[in-house]
């Protein structure tokens, strides 16, 4: 099974340094090892922005620009727009049966967000239940790994729970995902708050021009107890130093600044000025790449369309398996069409022929399906099905050969049975090989 990543962002505007440290950096690093899908979660963005759907299209474009700017390679990574994959909505509905209201109510991230949002007319069901749709995002792409920031851990846990329940109830179709945290689980805001958040306005965006970055850095929150450059300052938990640690590659400079800060021999202004220099050096190439793509909007749109098409193909494949597993793949058609439909949808038998050397003239070579252990032969216009019991091989059914029998979609009792049942193929094969020719049932 290919190792696969699915992760995503709500398109509520351009992405910031918090996104980079929390997840983007990991995606760029892992895109060579993992088949990577990145979801622009516009349906999720609607859950608290449903009054302004007209903003989504421009925001989707901004987020795609950020992805490309930080180095996600469009030749490797599929950028998928959530609303253009309606199968996600379908899977969300099925998943709703597998989650209790009480579980949703306990989700700490959603609780926190509800507090911030201050929904005056009550919490919309869509917002409150978005962890279910996020579980569908992850499950439909059969991702094993989800690089995210710390605040998303409850969503991944929820997805794991749903997948486990689904697989237990309906059969093992879905993959239980793992979360992967970024180098820094949570980057504080420029105001010293726990995290960067657009609604609080404490962000530095990946596309911010130098003067904006400068202003943001120079007005950053630092040690509030420090009034003069000669006061000993605190480095721990000071966001200016947290940023230095993350974005300043010159570790010697950072160590020296920390020592001087503690000793009271450096000004806040100098520490910030050096942070600005480091941060700007980091952002410069990202900014340049972002502008280059922004000047080629048609190319960006094509990248989004291509990624979404590939993403949807995968989603369609999974949703068909989901419906099969849930036995809601009805086809209310004429019975003959139905047989053909079933044959088409069925797992194909994989025939391994035995007795090629010792051909049994009247029976034909015996074949065993390596999935389900079914035994059959084709001869003289007849399909025969056998069972092995002890030292005997017994014929169970005989019927005329259909066209399908000649192909891999070959049917005995329609489709191939459970691939994971405990069939000892070696035993069956050795038994068949051990049965002397004379013991074969004599068939006409
Ligand atoms: N909830 C994520 C955020 O707010 C966005 C998201 C939607 C996501 N679907 C996802 C993240 C699937 C990881 C996997 O940033």
Q: In this predicted model, what pLDDT tens digit does every residue of 15-31 receive, in sequence order?
A: 999 999 999 999 999 99
Quick one: average pLDDT of 234-238?
A: 95
Q: Are strands 35-40 and 4-9 parallel, antiparallel or unpaired?
A: parallel
Q: Which of 164-168, 226-230, 432-436 has the lowest mean pLDDT?
A: 432-436
What's the CA-to-centroid distance between 8 and ligand 1, angstroms? 5
Q: How much is the pLDDT for 410?
A: 53
In short, whether 133's Cβ falls inside 6 Å of ligand 1 is no
Res. 335 pLDDT band, cuts 50 70 90: low
Q: What's the number of CA atoms in the CB half-sphere (13 Å) around residue 263? A: 8
Res. 438 pLDDT band, cuts 50 70 90: low
Give how many domains the chain has, as a whole number.
Answer: 3
Most ligand 1 atoms within 8 A of CB, residue of 23, 152, 198 to mutate: 152
In short, whether 196's Cβ falls inside 6 Å of ligand 1 is no
Among the atoms of ligand 1, which is closest to the Cα of residue 44? 7
* Residue 329 token pair: 């793949």
Quick one: average pLDDT of 126-146?
A: 97
Residue 152 lies in a domain: yes
For residues 172 and 226, membership in a common domain is answered with no
Q: Report percent pLDDT > 90 for the chain.
A: 69
Quick one: average pLDDT of 23-41?
A: 96
Residue 200 lies in a domain: no
In short, whether 138's Cβ falls inside 6 Å of ligand 1 is yes
pLDDT of 341 over the 70 cut: no
Burial 5-21 (b: 16+ CB within 10 A, else e): bbbbbbbbbbbbbbbbb
For residues 97 and 78, membership in a common domain is answered with yes
What's the CA-to-centroid distance between 368 and ligand 1, angstroms? 46
Residue 387 lies in a domain: yes
Q: Which residue's CA is the nearest one to ligand 1's atom 14?
A: 7
In short, whether 64's Cβ falls inside 6 Å of ligand 1 is no
Q: What CATH code is carried by the domain that includes residue 83?
A: 3.40.50.620
Residues near 389 by beta carbon (within 8 Å), at least 6 away in sequence: none
What's the CA-to-centroid distance between 120 and ligand 1, angstroms? 25
In short, whether 311's Cβ falls inside 6 Å of ligand 1 is no
Other C-beta atoms lying within 10 Å of the C-beta of residue 245: 14
Q: Give all strands of the β-sheet with 351-354 in edge-to-edge order.
A: 351-354, 366-369, 375-379, 382-389, 392-400
In short, whether 376's Cβ falls inside 6 Å of ligand 1 is no
Give how far the C-alpha of residue 55 lies from the chain's centroid of Cα atoms, to the nearest Å.
25
Burial 163-172 (b: 16+ CB within 10 A, else e): beebeeebbe
Residue 408 lies in a domain: yes
For residues 214 and 238, membership in a common domain is answered with yes
For residues 301 and 275, membership in a common domain is answered with no
What's the CA-to-centroid distance between 131 and ligand 1, angstroms? 9
Average predicted confidence (pLDDT) for the chain: 88
Res. 255 pLDDT band, cuts 50 70 90: very high
Distance CA 137, CA 141 (A): 7
pTM of the model: 0.76
Q: What's the number of CA atoms in the CB half-sphere (13 Å) around residue 306? A: 12
In short, whether 146's Cβ falls inside 6 Å of ligand 1 is yes
For residues 56 and 144, membership in a common domain is answered with yes
Instruction: Report the C-alpha dihedral over residues 238, 244, 245, 248, rounded to 10 degrees.
Output: 180
**Residue range 370-425, pLDDT digits in tens:** 767 788 887 777 888 888 776 677 777 787 776 555 554 455 555 665 554 566 76
For residues 308 and 174, membership in a common domain is answered with yes
Residue 198 lies in a domain: no
Residue 251 lies in a domain: yes
Q: Report percent pLDDT > 70 for the chain.
A: 84
What are the CA-CA distances from residue 437 to residues 383, 385, 392 (Å)?
Answer: 19, 17, 11
For residues 274 and 301, membership in a common domain is answered with no
Q: How much is the pLDDT for 413?
A: 53
pLDDT of 139 over the 60 cut: yes
Among the atoms of ligand 1, which is closest to the Cα of residue 19? 15
Distance CA 20, CA 52 (A): 26
What's the CA-to-centroid distance between 6 and ligand 1, angstroms? 9
For residues 58 and 163, membership in a common domain is answered with yes
- Of 355, 353, 351, 367, which is closest to residue 408 (Cα–Cα)? 351
Q: Which residue's CA is the nearest one to ligand 1's atom 3?
A: 9
* Residue 292 token pair: 């280059």
Residue 192 lies in a domain: no
**Residue range 355-367, pLDDT digits in tens:** 654 455 556 778 8
In short, whether 44's Cβ falls inside 6 Å of ligand 1 is yes
For residues 257 and 395, membership in a common domain is answered with no
Q: Give the range of the structural domain holding residue 418, as residue numbers without chain letter.
A: 344-439
Distance CA 360, CA 351 (A): 17
Res. 136 pLDDT band, cuts 50 70 90: very high
Distance CA 391, CA 347 (A): 30
- Of 27, 14, 3, which is closest to residue 183 (Cα–Cα)? 27
For residues 65 and 84, membership in a common domain is answered with yes
Q: What CATH code is carried by the domain that includes residue 263?
A: 1.10.240.10
In short, whether 134's Cβ falls inside 6 Å of ligand 1 is yes
What's the CA-to-centroid distance between 409 and ligand 1, angstroms? 39
For residues 53 and 121, membership in a common domain is answered with yes
**Phi/psi at 378 (nearest 5 deg)?**
-120, 125
Q: Which residue's CA is the nearest one to ligand 1's atom 15?
A: 9
Among the atoms of ligand 1, which is closest to the Cα of residue 41? 7
What's the CA-to-centroid distance between 41 and ligand 1, angstroms? 7
Sign of CA dihedral 200, 204, 210, 215: positive
What's the CA-to-centroid distance between 35 and ligand 1, angstroms? 18
Q: How much is the pLDDT for 357?
A: 45
**Residue range 263-319, pLDDT digits in tens:** 999 999 999 999 999 999 999 999 999 999 999 999 999 999 999 999 999 999 999
**Residue range 104-121, pLDDT digits in tens:** 999 999 999 999 888 989
Q: How much is the pLDDT for 23?
A: 92
Residue 334 lies in a domain: no
Q: Which residue's CA is the nearest one to ligand 1's atom 8?
A: 8
Most ligand 1 atoms within 8 A of CB, residue of 21, 44, 186 to mutate: 44
For residues 219 and 368, membership in a common domain is answered with no
Q: How much is the pLDDT for 356?
A: 56
Most ligand 1 atoms within 8 A of CB, residue of 11, 27, 80, 134 to mutate: 134
Q: Which residue's CA is the nearest one to ligand 1's atom 10?
A: 8
């Amino acid at each position: 099974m290919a190792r696969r990543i699915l992760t995503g962002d709500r398109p509520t505007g351009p992405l910031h340094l918090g996104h980079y440290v929390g997840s983007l950096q990991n995606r760029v690093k892992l895109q060579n090892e993992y088949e990577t899908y990145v979801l622009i979660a516009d349906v999720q963005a609607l859950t608290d922005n449903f009054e302004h759907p007209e903003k989504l299209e421009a925001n989707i474009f901004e987020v795609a620009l950020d992805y490309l700017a930080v180095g996600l390679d469009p030749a490797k990574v599929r950028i998928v727009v959530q609303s253009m994959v309606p199968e996600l909505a379908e899977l969300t509905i099925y998943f709703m049966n597998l989650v209790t209201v009480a579980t949703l109510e306990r989700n700490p991230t959603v609780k926190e967000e509800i507090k911030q949002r201050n929904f005056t007319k009550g919490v919309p069901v869509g917002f409150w239940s978005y962890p279910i749709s996020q579980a569908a995002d992850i499950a439909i792409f059969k991702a094993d790994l989800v690089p995210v920031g710390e605040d998303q851990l409850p969503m991944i846990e929820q997805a794991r729970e749903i997948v486990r329940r689904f697989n237990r109830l309906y059969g093992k179709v879905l993959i239980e995902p793992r979360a992967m945290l970024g180098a820094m689980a949570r980057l504080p805001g420029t105001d010293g708050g726990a995290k960067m958040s657009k609604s609080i306005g404490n962000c530095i965006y990946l596309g911010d021009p130098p003067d904006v970055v400068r202003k943001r850095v120079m007005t950053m929150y630092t040690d509030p107890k420090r009034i003069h450059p000669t006061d000993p300052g605190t480095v721990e938990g000071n966001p200016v130093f947290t940023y230095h640690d993350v974005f300043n590659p010159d570790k010697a400079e950072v160590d020296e600044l920390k020592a001087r800060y503690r000793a009271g021999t450096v000004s806040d202004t100098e520490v910030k000025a050096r942070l600005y220099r480091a941060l700007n050096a980091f952002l410069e190439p990202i900014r340049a790449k972002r502008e280059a793509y922004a000047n080629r909007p048609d190319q960006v749109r094509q990248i989004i369309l291509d990624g979404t098409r590939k993403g949807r193909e995968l989603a369609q494949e999974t949703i068909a398996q989901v419906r099969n597993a849930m036995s809601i793949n009805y086809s209310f058609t004429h019975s003959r069409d139905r047989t053909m439909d079933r044959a088409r949808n069925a797992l194909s038998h994989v025939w391994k022929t035995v007795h090629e050397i010792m051909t049994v003239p009247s029976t034909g070579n015996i074949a065993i399906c390596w999935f389900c252990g079914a035994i059959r032969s084709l001869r003289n216009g007849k399909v025969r099905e056998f069972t092995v019991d002890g030292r005997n091989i017994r014929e169970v059914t005989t019927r005329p050969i259909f066209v399908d029998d000649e192909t891999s979609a070959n049917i005995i009792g329609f489709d191939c049975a459970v691939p994971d049942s405990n069939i000892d193929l070696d035993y069956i094969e050795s038994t068949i090989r051990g049965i002397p020719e004379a013991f074969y049932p004599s068939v006409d």
